[in-house]
Structure 1
């Protein structure tokens, strides 16, 4: 409703005094010799609506158009102290007197924008401003509509377990704001679904990928029974607004500012992404009072989790995989480790190569001890130093020996024969291994370079039982079609990678049964390890 008034410098002092009671000065246009003012509805209400309309209609050479006068009559018919407009995620604040908003300025909620020449605030702080005004007995009028109530009815088909119920209750007690840390994506989504069910407001769900988008869409329709016509999607080539809308973060950055006051509830999936510099403006520019962050990580990179309280709410519940097992909230899994043994010759060659690499490092980089920093330094030297290039070749050859891809492919082949009745996913973070395994054992492989359509075909065939073996170098926890095998085989190096194993377990978390995970590692020639030679299909194993 912003109306700009341009006044000639030739007007008398009395005129400007009266104008100051209706509008805020913006600037002086030196080229035209006109003063520029912005009409302030809060000031108009104090001045007197009829008197103001008369002054604006008769005292200006370019009086406000009829539409502006009509809106003024609607807004300022009763006395108001603060008028607030919303423009692209930014609140523009019109106080009757600046002293009314000083506490909010001091607390950092309201600032003066030198470009707009106006007091502004982030849309996320709307309810803080309204609460402050109420406490001071100030009457506020909004220049935009807020109607969060949804028209749909839901029914929650899947109940929450005791762990998730506790998480949900803690989120409610925190004012329907906060972050929930839970390692299993499909389970933590249930908290958001229950919140949508109970709040009954229009909801925006922000997700990092198209696969997340499909996953949420499926849950909204199948678990909450929301009619498909009311579920919106922004992503995957679709642009449709619904009372519940799932959108990728990339789309939200462009779309959500246009619907700043439409949604009453925002769910940020993988919320460590939502608070990055690229996307945090999405949360800052929405008025939604209810907010829920979902993640598997208690701490975000670069300490970005410190922004949770401001943008989403503090962490109200956090649980890791081991705690879920202890509480009985998810089935346990067993780990069986088998080993591909190096021969004496391979082991001695590995030692010789690593000794050569270490001797060069001690000679050329005596002060660099941390392995990763040392490797980076040798790589930099290799561009101009023949000795460094020889050291890198030695290290690569040693790595090839110790990873023992050929031996581990034979191990995996035997495991596939032993577990011939089971559906199996073979994981390895080494892409070269997955490619070689796929080529030699004729196993479909999911690698970063394959298309989404090809990946979905493989997943669909696996889940329907058309193929029983799948190999992947990609952790599948973000995919809606993530398989539920009977067995996971993880091909590692010489030692177990606990973080990687935990992510594999989260990916394949079974619903009602104990899982079996076999890890294939490299062993020294004479190390005392479980022999693989006589491995039979196990009947037991140590639970983790």
Structure 2
């Protein structure tokens, strides 16, 4: 009889191995086969369809009796149902492991964690939740313990404890896949777009879990790696954006773009540096139509001094337009106007974060901020001791940010993901807010995002692209 076992992130087949099984490489001499663990469910289905008898020793999981008090909103229920409907084992017998697969894409603040917890309850199988940051690891673990009143394991943050419900960082899940890849029937991948990273893809490949749920606010990746994620987790089965939920479930919001002029000195320096860059492109017949074209320019800079000079000039021009003095002046006006609101200021550069922190006497959060200090700042922001925080990219995702209703983007990339994440930080439903109802859209129950852009610079094009 054919026997299926798990070893080091692979499913091994011993015995008379049929041909044409998905992902299986055969060894004719030993009459064995092997496949990445992600193929486990497909191999079982193929064997069942052919009527092949086999002993399955890959997953031997005890069911979990879990109960949740969550009441799902209508769209959360629709998302969960859409995911559950992908299960092709529903009518195949009691011994089959449930195998729904797919990604739910919902905006920040819409309660994706609730959907994940309800999915865990509905399937009732040992589950590994994978998250990108220690902050999210702690949040998920606390939520699971509170909701299910069970001990929750943890891979990451200095702990390596396995339980039927376990939370892991992407890094730790990757490192532990070989030895725990057969211990879970469901993978919940929070911020699943991270799975497209070259190393992290092995998390999807080396776990045998038939059921997989991806959660994200921004599924598509600029590098196209979302196609890889679909192969490992499943396609997007349910999608809503902020506009779909604004008013009923998320705050209504307005976007306000403000253009500021460079000072005379900034304009002269910007044009000089930008000219150096564009002159080199023209003389070298280089057209920057994609990221790969830019990478080619970076490669040239390693051997061509003129290419290096052009790249440095581009960087200096970018810093001028992103950190323009009149942006800071405009920010001063905005902060004065929104003294009664909760404001998050986003920049692209850490240096500007500290400059703004000193200028306006507001707390700064950067990649250099210790975790304890960051938690203290956000706690005081939540309770109202601080009304404003300024940050670079740290608060884009992976950290539970308290309610805010005004965001100011002083500078950023052209990434739609970054823009969506920053907007999502002010969209959580809050009911009545502080502020004047007639003050440019910041009244009760409404959020406001400002974009401050240096006029007549490349930043105008960047802002259009990210919108």
TM-score, normalisation: structure 1: 0.69
Alignment counterpart, residue 204 of structure 1, candidates 112, 128, 141 = 128
Determine helix, strand or coil for the equivalent of 1:272. Answer: helix
Larger Rg: 1
1:319 aligns with 2:319: no
Distance across 2 between alignment mates of 1:188 and 1:506 = 13
Alpha-carbon deviation of 1:398?
5.0
Residue 275 of structure 1 and its aligned partner are, at CA, apart by 4.9
Task: Assess, with a 3 A threshold, how the Cα gap between structure 1 residues 359 and 203 changes in structure 2: closer, same or farther.
Answer: closer
- The residue that corresponds to 2:80 in the other structure is 168
**How far has the Cα of 1:181 moved from its partner?**
2.0
Whole-angstrom CA distance in 2 between matches of 1:192 and 1:137: 35
Question: How many equivalent residue pairs?
Answer: 430
Are 1:177 and 2:101 matched, yes or no? yes
How far the C-alpha of 1:221 sits from its partner, in A, is: 3.0
Does the Cα contact within 8 Å between 1:202 and 1:265 map onto a contact in 2?
Answer: yes
What's the counterpart of residue 517 of structure 1?
Answer: 449
Q: Against the structure 1 CA distance between its residues 299 and 424, is the aligned structure 2 distance closer, same or farther, given a 3 Å change threshold?
A: closer
Could you tell me whether the CA contact under 8 Å between 1:475 and 1:504 is conserved in 2?
A: no
Higher-RCO chain (CA-CA 8 Å, sequence separation at least 6):
2
The residue that corresponds to 2:460 in the other structure is none
> Are 2:116 and 1:192 aligned?
yes
Give the secondary-structure state (helix, strand or coil) at the position aligned to 1:230. coil
- Mapped contact 1:264–1:290 kept (Cα < 8 A): yes
The aligned counterpart of 2:228 is 307
Q: In 2, Cα distance between the equivalents of 1:442 and 1:113?
A: 68
Per-residue displacement from partner, 1:256-293 (whole Å, max 9, x unpaired)? 43333322211122223335442333333333222111
Displacement of 1:411 in angstroms is 2.3
- Greater mean deviation of Cα atoms: 117-126 or 376-385: 376-385
Per the alignment, residue 148 of structure 2 pairs with 226
**Residue 234 of structure 1, CA deviation:** 1.2
Match of 1:125 in 2: 39
In structure 2, the CA distance between the partners of 1:413 and 1:379, relative to structure 1 (3 Å rule), is farther
TM-score (norm 2): 0.79
Change (3 A) 1:276 1:501: closer
Q: Is the 8 A contact 2:109 2:428 kept in 1?
A: no
Query: Contact 2:205/2:232 (CA < 8 Å) preserved in 1?
Result: yes
1:507 aligns with one of 418, 425, 449? 425
Q: Does 1:428 align with 2:360?
A: no
Establish whether residue 335 from structure 1 lines up as the match of residue 255 from structure 2: yes
- What corresponds to 2:215 in structure 1? 294
CA displacement, residues 84-142 of structure 1 (integer Å, 9 cap, x when unaligned): 333333333233xx3xx42xx32434322489773223434334344444444443223
Residue pair 2:411, 2:453 contacting (<8 A) in 1 also? yes
Structure 2 SS opposite 1:180? strand
- Mapping 1:131-170, distance limit 5 Å: 131-143=45-57, 146-151=60-65, 153-157=66-70, 159-170=71-82
How big is the shift at 1:197?
A: 1.8
1-side partners of 2:179 and 2:337: how far apart?
Answer: 58
Gaps of 5+ in 2: 88-99, 431-444, 457-466
Report deviation, 1:344.
6.0
What is the CA-CA distance between 1:393 and the residue it aligns to?
7.4
- Residue 84 of structure 1 pairs with residue 4 of structure 2: yes
Match of 1:110 among 12, 20, 24: 24
Q: What are the ranges of 5 or more consecutive residues in structure 1 without an aligned counterpart?
A: 1-80, 525-543
Question: CA, structure 1 residues 361+254, in 2 after alignment: closer, same or farther (shift >3 Å)?
Answer: closer
